Amino acid sequence: MKDIFIIGLGLIGGSISLAIKKEDSFHVKGFDLSAEQLRMAKSLGVIDEKVKSIEEGAVHADLIVLAVPVAQTIELIQQLNQLDLKKDVIITDVGSTKQEIVQAAAQLNESITFIGGHPMAGSHKSGVEAAKAHLFENAFYIFTPTATVDREQLITLKNVLKHTKARFLQMDAKQHDKLVGAVSHFPHIIAASLVHQLEKLQETDPGVTRLAAGGFRDITRIASSSPVMWRDILLHNQEELLHLFDQWQNEMNRARNLVQDGDGEGLLTFFQQARSFREGLPQRNKGAIPAFYDLFVDVPDHPGVISDVTYILAEHEISLTNIRILEAREDIMGVLRLSFRSEMDRDLAKKALKKRLYETYE
């Protein structure tokens, strides 16, 4: 395998390309509907060669990666099926839902191998300029091959994508949509619903937003994700989400009844069981929702302290995704919350700031 063609040069497609390009024998071609994204991908070295059309890149490819939204992926599968592709070409995708894509791929010619894929990592940033070769490191990368997929073809795909340093998992498309729906898709609905509830409360109690500046803002951070992307994800995982709505309603009714009945023991058990299960969840693995790697820094009240902190980070080439002042009052220590794209960046920042005598904690 030598020629690789990536369609869609955003954060995910660009990061896959950078990871693949660690292997010198691979030649990566790219295409994007945005001429600017395509030009930038080439100028940044994300791809080796840009092509003017899908056909130009696809007909010579050994591997085709569809790094576009689900609806576009289905359209591309149909389009690729009309082209004279290489015998034994492998096509894979990066879609957040899998059942509809796998069903569409079932219509492909027998000489084409389709293996559904979902790299479960993301970033606060988007576009090819945010692409990083290490984006998927230690993240789960799920494959959803059907029974007709040859084992050797799956191994071939994994050998190409091993440079992402992701952790490979394998399951069928239905199980994928069910599990990812529960740990990623539905939490986004809940976060957005909590924000809507606060917005309605603000109409009668305008001061509530000041109280929401801390913990509430933190637990609803995922509600700031792309509305267009999440609209499409939910529509394409409709069946599984409808089941989750029913389960969630039952859980909320159970909690409501405990409150209504004044059942203190029941409420205690409710929270104890939730805490116990949550504390048993893996802490260092990347999951379905991009993790937030925050570092809190105590800073003295004097001019220029924030610029000093950011200068230290810049000095060590550590990238910030967000910085926020949590506490800043005259004559007392303030608190900054620094957010990073990876645990490694956070650890490096902690060491750099400690050397300059800043107190930090996670």
Q: What is the pLDDT of residues 243-280, one digit of tens each?
A: 999 999 999 999 999 999 999 999 999 999 999 998 88
Q: Taking a C-beta distance cutoff of 8 angstroms, is the pair 125, 131 a contact?
A: no
Whether 141 and 37 map to the same domain: the answer is yes
Tally of domains within the chain: 3
Q: What angle do CA 136, 142, 146 make, to 5 degrees?
A: 150
**Is residue 119 within 8 Å of 164, Cβ to Cβ?**
yes
CB 250 within 8 A of CB 257: no
* Residue 209 within any structural domain of the chain: yes
Same domain flag for 204 and 247: yes
Of 171, 199, 216, the residue at which a domain comes to its end is: 171
CATH number of the domain where residue 242 is located? 1.10.3660.10
Q: Are 41 and 79 contained in the same domain?
A: yes
- Whole-angstrom distance, CA of residue 232 vs CA of residue 87: 33
Looking at the chain, how many residues does it have? 362
CA–CA separation, 96 and 274 (whole Å): 27
- Please tell me the predicted confidence (pLDDT) of residue 10: 92
Domain of 36, CATH number, reads 3.40.50.720
What are the tens digits of pLDDT across the range 130-143? Answer: 888 888 888 899 99
Tell me which of 123, 151, 171 is where a domain ends: 171
Q: Is residue 285 part of a domain?
A: no
- Residues 189, 143, single domain; the answer is no
pLDDT of residue 291: 61
How many Cα atoms are found within 13 Å in the side-chain-facing hemisphere of 267? 9
Rounded Cα distance, 292 and 269, in Å = 29
In a domain, 269, yes or no: yes
Q: Name the packing angle between helices 186-202 and 238-260 (round to 10°).
A: 50
Q: Are residues 22 and 161 in the same domain?
A: yes
Domain assignment present for 138: yes
Look at residue 159 and tell me if it is in a domain: yes
- Both 12 and 151 in one domain: the answer is yes
Return d(Cα 181, Cα 97) in angstroms, integer: 9
Q: Which of 254, 279, 304 is the last residue of a domain?
A: 279
**Which segments of the chain have a pLDDT < 70?**
1, 123-125, 214, 283-292, 301, 326-333
One domain for residues 154 and 253: no
Structure confidence at residue 342 (pLDDT): 77
Question: Torsions phi, psi of 170, nearest 5?
Answer: -135, 130
Residues 34 and 159 in one domain: yes
Q: What is the largest CA-CA distance in the chain?
A: 73
Q: Are residues 115 and 183 in the same domain?
A: no
Phi-psi domain of 331 (left: phi exceeds 0; alpha: psi -120 through 50; beta: other): left
Tokens of 308: 């000093």
What tokens appear for 61 in the block?
Answer: 């490819």
CATH number at residue 297: 3.30.2130.10
| Helix ranges restricted to H, the chain | 11-20, 35-43, 54-58, 70-80, 99-105, 151-161, 173-180, 186-202, 208-211, 215-219, 227-236, 238-260, 264-279, 305-315, 343-355
Domain of residue 179, residue span: 175-279
Q: With a threshold of 0.85, does the pTM exceed it?
A: no
Residue 131 placed within a domain: yes
| 90 and 149 both lie in a single domain | yes
Place of tokens 């789960």: 140
- Strand-pairing partners, residue 182, are none
The CB density around residue 154, as the number of other CB atoms within 10 Å, is 17
pLDDT at residue number 283: 62
Same domain, 182 and 151: no
End-to-end CA, the chain: 44
8 in any annotated domain = yes
Q: What are phi and psi for residue 68, nearest 5 degrees? A: -135, 170
Name the DSSP class of 248: H
Report pLDDT for 331. Answer: 43
pLDDT score at 344: 85
Is the domain of 155 the same as that of 191?
A: no
